[in-house]
Structure 1
Amino acid sequence: MAVSPEAAAIIQRKKLQYCRWADHNQFHLFDQIALPEATFSFWKADGTIYHEFGVDYSFRSREEFINHFTTAFKSLQSYHMITPAEFEQTSPDEINAIFGCIYHAGIKGSDTEGHGTGGGHYHETWVRKGGDWFMKDLKFERIYWKAPSS
């Protein structure tokens, strides 16, 4: 089923907002792009769930995701760049989207500590609620992470 240009534009805009708001630690705005019951998971290149500082990066709700990243990103700086999406409409009210992504991240106030570049793909499901589209599921599959040698 073909995706309407209007639906594609709404989802593309909201994905750009996702990246900008994450980069500016504005997770409180995510109610404009994701459902309360949205799930979020982040996977490494070897097919295992990303795990850092005792946390599995698999979140069962928007609130759980927001609570984690609001705290985690206080000490980080990041910049996400995404590609236009590949879209597939699976029903009148559901669209799957795949976005390529390159991101840069590191500790605020440091030119080197924790800094690196990663890349991968976001696999997402978006659903229509009323006349708008909202993220229902996000799965990020990391292809690589490269940190400069000290």
Structure 2
Amino acid sequence: MTVPFEISQKIHQKKAQYGRYIDTKQWDEFDQIALPDAELIFLDTNGSVLTVGKTALTFSTPKQFTTFFRRFFANAQTLHMFGPGDLQQTGSDEVKAIWSMEDQIIMKYSGGLAEVRGGGFYYETWKLKDGEWFLKSLRLERTYTKFSLLVRILALLQACLPFTLF
């Protein structure tokens, strides 16, 4: 079913806030975007759950998501860009959305040598609650990832060490 303009605009605005809040480190604002029990999962190009060190990037609440990324992105400069979004209303209180995306992560103090770039598609469900639209679920399926040489070296070291570097 076609999504009415007002609903589409509100969900587009919230998706823009999602990217801006990550990139500007406004972690406490996520309660304005996602339901408290929203699930967020991030998949690699082969369909497996992405990991950072020994942490699987699958979160059963936005609080878990923000707790992890607040720490992980503390010394990173990031940029998340989204395509226009393909929205379909599946019920009076539910919208499914697919967004193309590209992201870039540059670790501070690395002189630009530690960088990750990638892209893919977000598959999301948005739910109407108390007159506002909120993220109910998010699944990022990456279609490509490019690691700088330094990031590749650090990942190899991490695999050989009995403790976590990152």
TM over 0.5, yes or no? yes
Distance 1:20 1:110 in 2: 23
Segments of structure 1 that go 5 or more residues without pairing to the other structure are none
Q: CA RMSD in A?
A: 1.2
Q: TM-score, normalised by structure 2?
A: 0.87
Match of 1:26 in 2: 26
Instruction: For 2:31 and 2:13, locate their aligned partners in 1 and report how far apart those are by CA, in whole Å.
Output: 15
Rounded to whole Å, the distance in 2 between the matches of 1:105 and 1:53 is 16
Query: Structure 1 residues 111-120 or 53-62, which shifts more?
Result: 111-120
Distance 1:24 1:65 in 2: 15
Q: How many residues align?
A: 150
Once the two structures are superposed, the pairs formed by residues 60-79 of structure 1 within 5 Å of their partners are 60-79=60-79
Gaps of 5+ in 2: 151-166
Output the CA distance in 1 between the equivalents of 2:113 and 2:67: 24
* Partner SS state of residue 74, structure 1: coil
**Secondary structure class of the residue paired with 1:67:** helix
Aligned-partner residue type, residue 143 of structure 1? T
Secondary structure of the residue that 2:74 maps to in structure 1? helix
The higher radius of gyration belongs to: 2
- Superposed, which structure 2 residues align to 1:1-150 within 5 Å? 1-149=1-149
> What is the CA-CA distance between 1:149 and the residue it aligns to?
4.5
Q: Distance in 1 between matches of 2:114 and 2:48?
A: 21
Structure 2 contact 118–146 (Cα < 8 Å) conserved: yes
Cα distance, 1:145 vs structure 2: 0.9
Length-normalised TM-score, structure 1:
0.95
Structure 1 outlier segments of 4+, above 3 Å: none
User: What code does the residue aligned with 2:29 have?
Assistant: L
